[in-house]
Amino acid sequence: MNAPEELHLIFGTGPVGISLATELLKQGKSVRLVNRSGHGQVPAGAELVAGDASQLPLVQDLCHGAAVVYNCTHAPYQHWPEVLPRLQENLIEGAASAGARLVVIDTLYLYGETQGQPMTEATPHLATSRKGRLRAELAWGYLQAHRTGKVQVALARAADFFGPQVLNSFLGQYFFPSALNNQPVATMGDIDLPHSYSYMPDIARGLAILGDHEEAMGREWLLPVVKAPTTREVCLLVGKALGHPLEILNVSSVEQAREFGVFDETFAYEYKELFYQYLEPQIVDSSLFEQTFTVKPTPLAEALQHTIHWYQEQAR
């Protein structure tokens, strides 16, 4: 699927959508992005249109002519129960009406607590949190749409994001600007446990690969990620790149995050059930994806250096 006239349609202009558009444009693809306002900065060569993905007729119109549709939408946690199922239904219907493949970025929440066991494509969906159960239901719905022949779907999962464009992540706006200014950086939970972090360009490349391969459809995939470092090791690498050690402000609980101003009241309430991720090893094993598609994740030190450079550019 390399012909430039084949339209790749991306719903969502957050860091995933923008990074995916950049990757697809590098490959010579025709790219259209959709967000509610029709405004925002997008990569040169991409088209941006306004569209409310909660409106099925509009979604079907937007999907017309697309070869691949990517669901890179997001919503505040408190709105997930009402918003995500509708987005799922509409994007399945929209992609199906166009005969397009559907690639969905997903989270690790549906696995729940793993007691430190590596997460693979075979890991059962045993979450007990509200958000994890919802994600498990959505994953089942996407794969059921594929099994019934309605639409070709692939699910792609990533760990905590970092990298260019990434702000709302624990390795994002609460970390890198402070590191650059030699101020304390906020870290979460037990920073001496292994914790996988997904580099945004690797996420984008993985999504593009899935959209380009029919054999990837009907499956769940863990996108390429390096062997899980500890968060302390990440801090050491960033400090080495900057030429000074980082002062760490460790946040050991949601309540403490709220006290320090890292979380607001709403986010603290919603995230409390997910904080377990920072109190046990969070290890993603992406070897199946890497072996199937012959790709490797970006080395961690290199990825962090690129991220530092991006944040430095934003500060100028």
Q: Summarize the confidence of residues 258-276 as an average pLDDT.
A: 91
pLDDT > 70 in the chain, percent: 99
Checking if the pLDDT of 251 tops 50, the result is: yes
pLDDT category, 1, cuts 50, 70, 90? very low
Q: Is residue 60 part of a domain?
A: yes
Q: What are phi and psi of 123, to 5 degrees?
A: -65, 130
Does 135 map to a domain? yes
**200-212 pLDDT, tens digit each:** 999 999 999 999 9
For residue 141, the enclosing domain spans 7-160+198-225+284-297
For residue 296, which of 168, 201, 218 has the smallest C-alpha distance? 201
**pLDDT tens-place string over residues 129-186:** 999 999 999 999 999 999 999 999 999 999 999 999 999 999 999 899 999 999 999 9
45 found inside a domain:
yes
User: What is the pLDDT confidence band of residue 2, given thresholds at 50, 70 and 90?
Assistant: very low
| CA-CA-CA-CA dihedral for 156, 77, 59, 161, to nearest 10 | -40
The CA distance from 43 to 30, in Å, is: 12
Q: Is the dihedral of CA 36, 142, 125, 231 positive or negative?
A: negative
Structure tokens that stand for 125 in this block: 């969906």
Is residue 84 scored above 50 in pLDDT?
A: yes
Spatial CB neighbours of 190, under 8 Å, sequence gap ≥ 6: 278, 279
pLDDT > 80? residue 188: yes
Q: How far apart are CA 55 and CA 45, in angstroms?
A: 27
Asked whether residue 12 is assigned to any structural domain, the reply reads yes
Judge whether 314 lies within some domain.
Answer: no
H, E, C per residue of the chain: CCCCCCEEEEECCCHHHHHHHHHHHHCCCEEEEEECCCCCCCCCCCEEEECCCCCHHHHHHHHCCEEEEEECCCCCHHHHHHHHHHHHHHHHHHHHHHCCEEEEEECCHHHCCCCCCCECCCCCCCCCCHHHHHHHHHHHHHHHHHHCCCCCEEEEECCEEECCCCCCCCCCCCCHHHHHCCCCEEEECCCCCEECEEEHHHHHHHHHHHHCCHHHCCEEEECCCCCCCEHHHHHHHHHHHHCCCCCEEEECCHHHHHHCCCCCHHHHHHHHHHHHHHCCCECECCHHHHHHHCCCCCCHHHHHHHHHHHHHHHCC
pLDDT tens digits, 131-143 = 999 999 999 999 9
Mean pLDDT of the chain: 96
Amino acid identity of residue 14, one-letter, is G
Above 50 in pLDDT, residue 7?
yes
Beta-bridge partners for 197: 160
Q: Cα–Cα distance between 229 and 217 in angstroms, integer?
A: 30
pLDDT at 260: 83
| Across 284-296, average pLDDT | 99
How far apart CA 111 and CA 118 sit, in angstroms, is 11
- On whether residue 104 sits in a domain, the answer given is yes
Report the CATH number that the domain containing residue 46 is assigned in CATH. 3.40.50.720
Does residue 236 fall inside a structural domain? Answer: no
Which pLDDT belongs to residue 316? 85
Residue 251 forms part of a structural domain: no
Q: How many domains does the chain have?
A: 1
- What pLDDT, on the 0 to 100 scale, is given for residue 263? 87
